[in-house]
Amino acid sequence: MNQAGTLSSSLPSERRDIPRAALLWLLVIIAGGIWTVLFPVPAQGLPLQSPSWQHWLGTDLLGRDFGWRLLAGGIHTLAVATAAACLSILLGGTWGMAAGVSGGWIDRVLNRMMDVALSVPALILALVILAALGPGEMAVAIAVGVGGAATFARLARAEAMQIRNREYFLASRALAARGIRMMRSHLLPNIAGPLSAYGALHFGWALVNAASLTFLGFGGSPSAAEWGRMLGEARLVFWQAPAQAAAIALVLAVTVLAVQRIGRWGMERDGR
């Protein structure tokens, strides 16, 4: 944090360690998810039981082990959000790099497309895509990923335009390097840092939106454990078992906070 003052705010802030608690939380979720893959599904019991030795956190409305589903849902939710964030970075990065490097009318067209995409809320774009793809987890990941791509395009374009006029880039162009090769060897290494730092911050957004969409029933098959959908199910039995909805909301909120902290740490380390 910058101290109160005047000029210090323009100096780079001191380097901080990665937030350990946030990282630990994500590791626990991933480890829990791996656990549920390696070990067999606990036997189904009676619906809505309270915690017992058989079912540590009780059972859900269909008698499935709630704790197990909470663990299985975590890695599932993270996977959907990761897929969405990666798609945003890949799509937006390519889009922005192509615009920033080529310049001229290609840049103008691609840049106009960014303007339009950015002036529509990402969620509306996601819903349009979802309307086309139909429900399903893959569709949710694609919708959220494409919906968030334009922000990365803007970022990548700005970075690419800076690099375009650097000496090494001009030199490599003078040596007749073209297209893909230029992007791979000169642009990508320079753009990857800022893009992934912002990507970590964006990941929290993707997580919330993917979970919201699955909560609303866009997630497809109801049997797979996923936090958004589980919250939707827990809502139905809220009056009988409020603790289940509370548990899901809690892990969801803590995960979003953890991801945000790591994202902000990444941005600060990147010096912005």
Partner 1 sequence: MSFLRRLLEGLIVVWAVATLAFFALRIGRVDPMAALLSQGLATGQQAADMRRLLGLDRPLLAQYADYLSGIARGDLGRSIFSGQDVAGMIAEAAGYTVPLAVVAWLLSVIFGIGFGAVASRRDERGTRGRIGRITGALLAIGAATPVAWSGLILLWASVPLLSAAATEPVRAAVRLLMPAAALAVTVGCSIGRATESSIRQSRGEPFRLAMQAHGFPRGIRFDWRLLRAYLAPLLALAGMEAAFLLGGTMITEVVFARPGLGRMLVDAILRGDYPVVQAVLALAALGYVFFGIIADFAAAVLDPRLRDG
Contacts to partner 1 by CB under 8 A:
2-10, 115-116, 119-125, 127-135, 204, 208-209, 211-212, 215-218, 231-232, 235, 238, 242, 245-246, 248-249, 252-254, 256-257, 260
Residue 252 structure tokens: 């969801």
**Closest CB to partner 1 among 3 and 165?**
3
**Closest CB to partner 1 among 152 and 215?**
215
Which amino acid, one-letter code, is at 70? Answer: L
Q: How far is the CB of 257 from partner 1 (least distance, A)?
A: 5
- Pick from 200, 232, 199, 201: nearest CA to 214: 232
Q: How far is the CB of 123 from partner 1 (least distance, A)?
A: 5
Q: How far is the CB of 221 from partner 1 (least distance, A)?
A: 14
**Closest CB to partner 1 among 76 and 186?**
76
Are the beta carbons of 99 and 138 closer than 8 angstroms?
Answer: no
Question: Cα(157)–Cα(221) distance, rounded to whole angstroms?
Answer: 38
- In sequence order, what E strands does the chain have? none
Question: Cα(18)–Cα(14) distance, rounded to whole angstroms?
Answer: 13
From residue 262, alpha-carbon distances to 93, 197, 204, 211 in Å are: 21, 9, 10, 20
**Closest CB to partner 1 among 6 and 165?**
6
Q: How far is the CB of 190 from partner 1 (least distance, A)?
A: 26
Question: Cα(264)–Cα(13) distance, rounded to whole angstroms?
Answer: 13
Residue 46 structure tokens: 């009676």
**Closest CB to partner 1 among 183 and 259?**
259
Residue 143, sorted as left (phi over 0), alpha (psi -120 to 50) or beta, turns out to be alpha
In DSSP terms, which residues pair with 59 in a beta bridge?
65
Q: How far is the CB of 9 from partner 1 (least distance, A)?
A: 4
**Closest CB to partner 1 among 103 and 217?**
217
**Closest CB to partner 1 among 104 and 134?**
134
Q: How far is the CB of 231 from partner 1 (least distance, A)?
A: 5
Q: How far is the CB of 103 from partner 1 (least distance, A)?
A: 23
Are the beta carbons of 31 and 41 closer than 8 angstroms?
Answer: no
